[in-house]
Amino acid sequence: MAKGSINVSVENIFPLIKKFLYSDHEIFLRELISNATDATLKLKHLTSIGEAKVAYGNPQIEVKIDKDNNTLHIIDQGIGMTAEEVEKYINQVAFSGAEEFLDKYKDSAKDSGIIGHFGLGFYSAFMVANKVEIITKSYLENEPAAHWTCDGSPEFTLEPHDKTERGTEIILHITEDDKAFLEESKISELLVKYNKFMPIPIKFGTKTETLPKPEGAKEEDPAPTQDVDNIINNPNPAWTKQPTDLEDEDYKSFYRELYPMQFEEPLFHIHLNVDYPFNLTGILYFPKMTNDLNVQKDRIQLYQNQVFVTDNVEGIVPEFLTMLRGVIDSPDIPLNVSRSYLQADGAVKKISSYITRKVADKLKSLFNNNREDFEKKWDDIKIVIEYGMLSEDKFFEKADAFALYPTVDGKYYTYDELYNAIKAKQTDKDDKLVILYASNKEEQHSYIESAKAKGYEVLLLDSPIVSHLMQKLETTKENISFARVDADHIDNLIKKDDTKISKLSEEEKTTLDELLKTVIPAEKFTVQLEAMDSDAAPFIITQPEFMRRMKE
Ligand code: ADP
Ligand code: MG
């Protein structure tokens, strides 16, 4: 039996790790399962290149609760460790065996999916345990198993063990304060949150499966059952596959897997897949949007090599796309670092602009391939697109080709189409294009009718941010201005025909004029007692566009 001191430069690093390394106690399980996964993936890699002369088989990871002994066990069938390796990898805090492995096997292992990074994950066990044991047997022949025990002080013991099968068992003696981690429901919840899509099957208990009744069974006979391993994860989630291997239905069923409580189907998806200059995969979904900009509960989830990290993707995904759903997986996003650091990180910036570009490209292809369908979806997606046009200039440039401007009559124009349709009629004295719009079809009905009678197009722009978008268009496009149908600006449009019709007699006009003057302030409104067409109301009160916008 060997005895020694853990080799750390800072005397009491444990209390520090326990308190400050991770804000969340619960991530210890994610870290230990990540290590078990790495150990298994390393074995997979070594067998595939012929360096390990053992059968890889169908290894799984098991999580077990032993309530009688207050212990939680994480058991894998991976490469295991020799006693020397325990000394090297475990006793040296902040030495990452994962990084060493990736370094040693370089190119051949770069796609192996190895998770570990900083050589600190293992010690997160001490956040919930006052004693940790490792029982491990290396895949190497004739290496005895080793048993390491440590109570959270820098002292440890290392002795031989009689374990015969390859792999590692980590035993956590859970502290009184953390007893919750001995509850099946708690562990189940954590496994679903962090490990649902990890690449090696994870067993947690068993479940009872109903089998088909044997032939000739009677109606009243109960169907036979059998106990099978309860595997909590899907090791091959859709985003790790090639888009060409997936059907539309596969994307939909993956959406249901991600958000089991979401009953509405997504409108469409975007499969992200890039490996240069950074590595990123994922699937984004456009859900049906409402005008409600509140943060939603079902958010984009960030993964690193299939390990859940967070569903707060602020800083990684451009803000206007945080309304989407789905997953992003990248080993290149620095984890466990502050958000402000993330925003300044070069790789993260590139990721963000890549995502913006992919989303714009997808929208463009949907528009090009099936315009009718795109128009049908417009109301559900416009909020994201308009918000994106306002906040990201790159997106604005791309969206110009597919952003739609619906008319009150249900026609949909792109900006260029709109321009061509109205340029002949809707220009004012200064040759400025005047784009008319209504924000409420019912309230502005008579103004809309009157404008239409003059041969003008009236857009229906009613999303909450559209006034900002109009301002953006007015400053971006040359010589245009928006005017609401009930603004007096309309009168400045070039008119082909100046004959005005009135439903009122001269006498009525005079009386009404005098009456209106007393109730309506002339500096704020314009009263018009004639209309261009006979269908319109007998008189119209308009308000200058600038006055109206001032109120918003
Ligand atoms: P990292 O995973 O970032 O390398 P950890 O502190 O999580 O750092 O783990 C340290 C090292 O201990 C690992 O790199 C690995 O070499 C070794 N190790 C931890 N858990 C296991 C395991 N279950 N099987 C084999 N080796 C392990
Ligand atoms: Mg680790």
**Residue 339: predicted pLDDT:** 61
Q: Which region holds residue 467: left if phi is over 0, alpha if psi is between -120 and 50, else beta? A: alpha
* Gap from CA of 71 to ligand 1 centroid (Å): 20
Compute the average pLDDT of residues 146-167.
Answer: 93
pLDDT higher than 50, residue 95: yes
**How big is the CA angle at 495 (ends 491 and 496), to the nearest 5 degrees?**
165
**Residue 13: predicted pLDDT:** 61
Atom of ligand 1 nearest to the CA of 170: 23
**Residue 527: predicted pLDDT:** 72
**Residue 535: predicted pLDDT:** 54
* Least confident range of 44-53, 114-123, 329-338: 329-338
pLDDT digits (tens, 9 = 90+) for 163-180: 999 999 999 999 999 999
Query: Buried (b) or exposed (e) across 114-128, using 16+ Cβ within 10 A?
Result: bbbbebbbbbbbbbb
In this prediction, residue 338 has a pLDDT band, given cuts at 50, 70 and 90, of low
- 36 Cβ below 6 A of ligand 1: yes
Tell me the CB-side half-sphere exposure of residue 490, using CA atoms within 13 A.
27
In this prediction, residue 242 has a pLDDT band, given cuts at 50, 70 and 90, of very high
Which residues surround the ion ligand 2 when the cut-off is CB under 5 Å? 35, 116, 121
pLDDT higher than 90, residue 310: no
Share of the chain above pLDDT 90, in %: 56
Give the mean pLDDT of the chain. Answer: 87
**Residue 16: predicted pLDDT:** 64
Q: Give the closest ligand to the alpha carbon of residue 124.
A: 1
Tell me which of 42, 93, 122 to substitute to probe ligand 1's pocket, judged by most ligand atoms within 8 Å of the beta carbon: 122
In this prediction, residue 514 has a pLDDT band, given cuts at 50, 70 and 90, of confident
Q: Is 96 annotated as a binding residue?
A: yes
Q: Give the closest ligand to the alpha carbon of residue 34.
A: 2
Tell me the CB-side half-sphere exposure of residue 541, using CA atoms within 13 A.
12
Tell me the range of 46-60, 104-118, 342-356, 524-538 where mean pLDDT is highest: 46-60
Compute the average pLDDT of residues 522-529.
Answer: 72
**How big is the CA angle at 190 (ends 156 and 299), to the nearest 5 degrees?**
135
Atom of ligand 1 nearest to the CA of 123: 6
**Residue 536: predicted pLDDT:** 58
**Residue 295: predicted pLDDT:** 45
d(CA 381, CA 233): 32
Residue in 510, 451, 508, 515 with CA at minimum distance from that of residue 484: 451
pLDDT digits (tens, 9 = 90+) for 389-415: 999 999 999 999 999 999 999 999 999
Q: Is 111 annotated as a binding residue?
A: no
* Gap from CA of 100 to ligand 2 centroid (Å): 12
Burial of 295 (0-12, 13-18, 19+ CB in 10 A): exposed
pLDDT digits (tens, 9 = 90+) for 133-144: 999 999 999 999
pLDDT digits (tens, 9 = 90+) for 434-474: 999 999 999 999 999 989 988 899 999 988 788 899 999 99
d(CA 232, CA 230): 6
φ/ψ (deg, to 5) at 199:
-75, -15
Q: Give the closest ligand to the alpha carbon of residue 101.
A: 1
* Gap from CA of 198 to ligand 2 centroid (Å): 14
* Gap from CA of 166 to ligand 2 centroid (Å): 19
**Residue 294: predicted pLDDT:** 46
* Gap from CA of 116 to ligand 1 centroid (Å): 7
Share of the chain above pLDDT 70, in %: 87
**Residue 10: predicted pLDDT:** 47
* Gap from CA of 401 to ligand 1 centroid (Å): 51
Whether the CB-CB separation of 262 and 299 falls below 8 Å is answered with: no
Compute the average pLDDT of residues 221-230.
Answer: 92
* Least confident range of 50-59, 161-170, 248-257, 537-546: 537-546
Tell me which of 45, 89, 134, 143 to substitute to probe ligand 1's pocket, judged by most ligand atoms within 8 Å of the beta carbon: 89
pLDDT digits (tens, 9 = 90+) for 4-44: 776 654 445 666 666 666 667 898 999 999 999 999 999 99
pLDDT higher than 70, residue 198: yes
Where does 239-299 have alpha helices with state H? 248-258
**Residue 551: predicted pLDDT:** 53
